[in-house]
């Protein structure tokens, strides 16, 4: 039977967005580092030769930008290294074996599996897709998808380093993210609409060895996540420098506006969960609760994840899953913020 246009587009989306890297795309590997290195090289060559670089404000912007990147980079490298090891040595079948079949038990078990198997949010999407294809309860696969990038040890340690005097924020982030993942998983289990969640990804026959696959996945994730880190650091520094202090103060003084702003930033900036805490720490005039919203929303729903969800599970699923996940994440973050912060 002929495929519909939507089916063809969704298959192409899987090719483009599958971060488990079943294809060996030489073009992406060669251009990625150049994309990150070129702006730094230009800035180095022009430093001291253009009047902009002697301006005190621009020097302040550069200081803020570099400090966020330097603080976050070690955790980003550690995160993508673990992600590469999981892709190379841990198969989805292992997770499937330890997850109970009953949704009421499978959902919390999948959430804890996300704690034990850390990885970036991009890598968790194709893993969840293969879990669904292998027969894992869909609600459990979705819980794992949301929990793995949000509550793993690398993310929690990076948050503790970014907020050294706010240990309660680390606890609040863990609980808010875990509660959000479990809530969405149980909600999906109650829907009992298995026909809506069907993985559309395809096995392309990856014949690489384990270590070759590790290097491939880790290097690609580092370039991909590093680009989003650079954009996030630029955005945080620019907000501090460009936006008038009176506007930032007005938004910071209004808790509702702050929460809405950080929820929107989390979706738009699409920063890797191993590095987002350093971006949030770069905006200290805002409340901890509003910044907690940023830390909880980002790993579970943003622009790149919406594209990945569409490619792996389909557009109809994403149209339902994305807004529900966003609302649950914001509500969970605000609740935990009220309790702990």
Residue 287 has pLDDT above 90, yes or no: yes
DSSP secondary structure letters along 237-271: HHHHHTS-HHHHHHHHH-HHHHHHHHHHHHHHH--
What is the pLDDT, as a whole number, of residue 177?
97
The C-alpha angle 302, 295, 108, rounded to 5 degrees, equals 85
Residue 256 has pLDDT above 80, yes or no: yes
Count CB atoms within 10 A of the CB of residue 36: 15
- Residue with structure tokens 């930032």? 248
- Residue with structure tokens 């149209």? 319
What is the pLDDT, as a whole number, of residue 93?
66
* d(C-alpha 217, C-alpha 123), whole Å: 9
Tell me: the pLDDT tens digits for 240-250? 777 777 888 88
Residue 204 has pLDDT above 50, yes or no: no
Query: 17: number of CA atoms within 13 Å, CB side?
Result: 27
Contact present, 13 and 310 (Cβ < 8 Å): yes
In which band, very low, low, confident or very high, does the pLDDT at 320 lie, cut at 50, 70 and 90?
Answer: very high
* Structural domain boundaries in the chain: 19-199+207-340
User: Over the chain, what is the mean pLDDT?
Assistant: 77
Residue 339 has pLDDT above 90, yes or no: yes
Percent of the chain whose predicted confidence (pLDDT) is above 90: 29
Q: Which pTM value belongs to this model?
A: 0.74
Query: 71: number of CA atoms within 13 Å, CB side?
Result: 23
Terminal C-alpha separation, the chain: 57
Higher-pLDDT residue of 282, 286? 286
């Amino acid at each position: 039977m002929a495929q519909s246009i939507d089916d063809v587009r969704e298959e192409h989306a899987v090719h483009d967005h599958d971060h488990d890297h079943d294809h060996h795309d030489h073009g992406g590997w060669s251009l990625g580092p150049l994309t990150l290195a070129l702006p730094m090289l230009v800035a180095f060559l022009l430093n001291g030769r253009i009047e902009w670089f002697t301006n005190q404000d621009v020097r302040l912007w550069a200081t803020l930008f570099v400090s966020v990147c330097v603080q976050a980079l070690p955790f980003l490298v550690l995160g993508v290294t673990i992600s590469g090891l999981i892709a190379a040595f841990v198969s989805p079948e292992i997770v499937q074996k330890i997850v109970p079949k009953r949704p009421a038990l499978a959902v919390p078990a999948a959430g804890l599996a996300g704690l034990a198997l850390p990885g970036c949010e991009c890598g968790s999407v194709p893993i969840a897709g293969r879990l669904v294809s292998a027969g894992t309860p869909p609600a459990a696969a979705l819980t794992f998808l949301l929990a793995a990038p949000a509550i793993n040890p690398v993310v929690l340690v990076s948050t503790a380093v970014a907020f050294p005097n706010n240990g309660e924020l680390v606890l609040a982030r863990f609980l808010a993210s875990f509660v959000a993942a479990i809530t969405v998983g149980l909600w999906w289990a109650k829907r009992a609409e298995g026909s809506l969640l069907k993985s559309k990804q395809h096995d392309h026959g990856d014949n690489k060895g384990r270590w070759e696959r590790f290097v491939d996945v880790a290097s690609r994730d580092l370039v991909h996540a590093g680009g989003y880190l650079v954009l996030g650091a630029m955005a945080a520094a620019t907000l501090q420098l460009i936006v008038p202090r009176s506007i930032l103060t007005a938004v910071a003084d209004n808790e509702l506006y702050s929460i809405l702003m950080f929820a929107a930033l989390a979706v738009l900036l699409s920063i890797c969960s191993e590095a987002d805490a350093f971006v949030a720490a770069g905006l200290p005039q805002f409340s901890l609760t509003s910044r907690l919203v940023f830390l909880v929303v980002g790993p579970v729903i943003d622009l790149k994840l919406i594209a990945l969800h569409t490619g792996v599970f389909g557009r109809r699923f994403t149209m339902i899953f994305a807004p529900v996940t966003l609302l649950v994440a914001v509500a969970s973050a605000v609740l935990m913020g009220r309790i702990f912060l």
